[in-house]
């Protein structure tokens, strides 16, 4: 009889401890996700340390999809160095045409300058499938290229994320940020996934107008509690509406 009584008791204890472990694990993941977001608000160094210490070596960022060429450039050094390609997104429309180190001179006969970027006259975006001509400088030689715009699905490795943060100007880190807050954190401990909803108010670079947006960030963790994937979705159209833009054809 004692065995019959003790066995369910042991099972119940095991379930309790398993529940405690699950709750503790869930809290740890939520805390790390919250700290990750907070570090991005704090400073360049805080963000750099967070990614370096808490992202898995095989982890990656899932970027927002867009229509364009599929490359990154030296945005913080644009005014002094021109538009130099720092990363080409594999599988993107331009992946077989441009290389890291290429410098864009003109796009559709519009000279590449900070002013032409800011006023919207220079744009790689538009209808998918439409060919765009450009002139680039490669190893001292001007080359004409043509790329058909397409949907780009970017991903960035841990190494690329760290490099992008390192290239940022610490003095201008979130200089346009006015207010921000974390509004909600939801954890799916069984799948090791955490969702964080944040709200931000900021000054738009081009118009100088205030805008606000809600962003949902999704974290996936590996068994060691390291970030395996991170990506977010935000209210891009709402931001454009607040800063005077509209969608036209």
SS3 54: helix
Residue ending a domain, among 96, 129, 152, is: 152
Q: Quick check: is 11 in a domain? A: no
Q: Among the three residues 131, 152, 173, which one is the final residue of a domain in this structure? A: 152
Q: Considering the chain, what is the average pLDDT of its residues?
A: 89
As a whole number of angstroms, the distance between CA 109 and CA 14 comes to 70
Residues 172 and 207 in one domain: yes
CA angle 225, 61, 211 (to 5 degrees): 115
Torsion region of 208: left, alpha or beta (phi above 0 gives left; psi -120 to 50 gives alpha): left
pLDDT band at residue 3 under the 50/70/90 scheme: very low
**Domain span holding position 95:** 66-152
Instruction: For the chain, give the percent of residues with pLDDT over 90.
Output: 68
> Residue 219 falls within a domain, yes or no?
yes
Q: What is the pLDDT of residues 167-222, one digit of tens each?
A: 888 888 988 999 999 999 999 999 999 999 999 999 998 788 999 999 999 999 99
Q: Is residue 13 part of a domain?
A: no
Contact 215, 198 (CB under 8 A): yes
DSSP E strand boundaries for 6-163: 55-62, 66-68, 71-73, 83-88, 103-107, 110-111, 131-138, 141-148, 150-152, 155-157
Residue 5 binned pLDDT confidence (cut-offs 50, 70, 90):
very low
Counted domains in the chain: 2
Please state, in angstroms and rounded to a whole number, the distance separating the CA atoms of residues 163 and 60. Answer: 13
Strand pairing class (55-62; 227-234): parallel
């Amino acid at each position: 009889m004692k065995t019959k009584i003790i066995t369910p008791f042991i099972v119940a204890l095991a379930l309790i401890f398993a529940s405690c472990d699950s709750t503790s694990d869930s809290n740890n993941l939520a805390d790390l996700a919250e700290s990750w977001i907070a570090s991005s608000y704090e400073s360049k160094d805080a963000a750099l340390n967070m990614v370096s210490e808490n992202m898995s070596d095989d982890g990656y960022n899932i970027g927002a999809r867009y229509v364009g060429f599929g490359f990154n450039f030296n945005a913080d050094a644009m005014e002094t160095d021109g538009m130099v390609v720092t990363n080409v997104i594999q599988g993107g429309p331009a992946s077989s045409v441009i290389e890291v180190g290429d410098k864009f001179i003109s796009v559709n006969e519009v000279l590449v300058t900070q002013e032409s970027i800011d006023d919207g006259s220079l744009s790689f975006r538009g209808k998918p499938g439409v060919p765009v001509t450009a002139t680039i400088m490669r190893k001292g030689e001007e080359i004409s290229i043509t790329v058909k715009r397409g949907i780009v699905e970017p991903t960035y490795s841990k190494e690329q994320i760290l490099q992008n943060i390192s290239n940022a100007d610490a003095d201008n880190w979130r200089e346009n940020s006015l207010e921000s807050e974390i509004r909600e954190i939801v954890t799916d401990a069984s799948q090791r996934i955490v969702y964080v909803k944040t709200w931000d108010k900021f000054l738009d670079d081009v118009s100088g107008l205030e805008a606000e947006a809600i962003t949902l960030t999704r974290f996936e963790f590996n068994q060691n509690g390291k970030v395996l994937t991170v990506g977010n979705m935000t209210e891009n159209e709402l931001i454009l509406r607040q800063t005077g833009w509209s969608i036209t054809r």
